[in-house]
Amino acid sequence: MDKDYVCEDWGTQTDWTQFKVTVPLEQLDDTSAVMSMVSNYLQIEDYSDIDLKTCYGDLIDESILNADKTIASVSVYLPADSGTADTVHFLKERFAALNIDAKISISGVCEEDWANSWKAYYKPIEIGEKMVIVPAWEKYDAPEGKLVVRMDPGMAFGTGSHETTRLVIGLLEKYVRGGERVLDVGCGSGILAICAAKLGAKECKAYDIDPVAVKVARENIKDSGLDNVTCDVSDLLRGVDSRHGGYDVICANIVADIIIRMTPDIGAYMNEGAVILASGIISERAADVIECFEKYGLRVIEKAEENGWCALVVGK
């Protein structure tokens, strides 16, 4: 690991500090785990699985198609006054302990730049057989038979581009047949609840611990013109509305450890025949999550995987 880190000359007053770590691709998972100790919100650049010129490559920026696929980077953003030196020291210690060949760079980011610069890389994405996720600002003519979900994720997770989100949306197409009550725990941008509603769910309740995510999700719900989707703040299942009975489909696109934490309580929110669509699980942790589900009387019905990520369909 390099002894020094790169600090760009910011020049003007900034609101946030970006900590970007670049590593060999094979060390991405461990790097993401370390960076999640600094912030729960990660920006991951991994272009190793993108070879889309034969399918829908015209929807992907050329710079991404031509990017170096042997390396990856993970970024977090912290308030500018949060203590840059302490954060760098912590990261260097962790990476050294794990023998991760990390190159750390830090730079200042203005709020407006951060909120908008990523938009250049967010293009329409076809998922499953029916869904197309389209940036709210893009003009798009939907092919016949496609369901369009327009999203502006802002600073919340959920553009549809990440494997974990794509896996759940594909499963929603299969398990939402019309008339279901759907619960989305850790909803981010609200994308899964909106997709469920578009697929015919009767009622969708979305929750996130982050008030910023809830604000973003509410705006996306409003812009979608849906009156059967709501979003509120909750800490996992604490605060989830169960006054009108349980749910038929429960989405939990979070991470393995958080899914394990909520498993002892989730059965109480499931109607007869309900399924949990659990995602955000790296394949190496799937066995741990499955073991926990089985411990509490739940069984895995189906398992879907993509690029090292796993999603589980779980029933009572």
Q: Angle of helix 286-295 relative to helix 256-266, nearest 10 degrees?
A: 10
- pLDDT tens profile 278-307: 999 999 999 999 999 999 999 999 999 998
Whole-model pTM: value is 0.65
Positions in the chain short of pLDDT 70: 1-14, 49-66, 110-121, 154-157
Q: In sequence order, which residues have a C-beta less than 8 Å from that of residue 276 and are 6 or more positions away?
A: 250, 251, 252, 266, 270, 298, 312, 313, 314, 315
- The string of DSSP letters for the chain reads --SS-EE----S--SEEEEEEEEEGGGHHHHHHHHTTT-S--EEE--TT---TTTTGGGS-HHHHTS-TTEEEEEEEEETTS-HHHHHHHHHHHHHHTT---EEEEEEE-HHHHHHHGGGG---EEETTTEEEEETTS---PPTTPEEEEE--TTSS--S-SHHHHHHHHHHHHH--SS-EEEEES-TTSHHHHHHHHTT-SEEEEEES-HHHHHHHHHHHHHHT-SSEEEEE-BTTBT---TT--EEEEEEES-HHHHHHHHHHHGGGEEEEEEEEEEEEEGGGHHHHHHHHHHTT-EEEEEEEETTEEEEEEE-
Q: How many residues make up the chain in this entry?
A: 316
Q: Which residue has the tokens 């910023």?
A: 212
Let me know if the fold of 6-118 is the same as that of 122-315: no
* Residue 71, both tokens: 């390396």
Give me the residues paired with residue 23 across strands: 72
User: Distance between CA atoms of 114 and 20, rounded to whole angstroms?
Assistant: 14
User: Distance between CA atoms of 231 and 33, rounded to whole angstroms?
Assistant: 28
Q: Which residue has the tokens 């042997």?
A: 70
* Domain definitions of the chain by residue range: 6-118, 122-315
**Of 127, 95, 82, whose CA–CA distance to 21 is shortest?**
95
Q: What is the pLDDT of residue 49?
A: 63
Q: What is the pLDDT of residue 103?
A: 94
Q: In sequence order, which residues have a C-beta less than 8 Å from that of residue 235 and are 6 or more positions away?
A: 209
Percent of the chain with pLDDT over 90: 54
**Of 260, 262, 274, 287, whose CA–CA distance to 315 is shortest?**
274
- The string of DSSP letters for 144-182 reads TTPEEEEE--TTSS--S-SHHHHHHHHHHHHH--SS-EE
Q: What is the pLDDT of residue 52?
A: 43
Q: How many CB atoms lie within 10 A of CB 96?
A: 12
Amino acid letter at 149? V
- CATH code for residues 6-118: 3.30.70.260
Q: What is the pLDDT of residue 58?
A: 40
Q: What is the pLDDT of residue 179?
A: 96
CATH class of the region 122-315: alpha beta
Distances (CA, A) of 5 to 89, 215, 242, 283: 10, 35, 50, 32
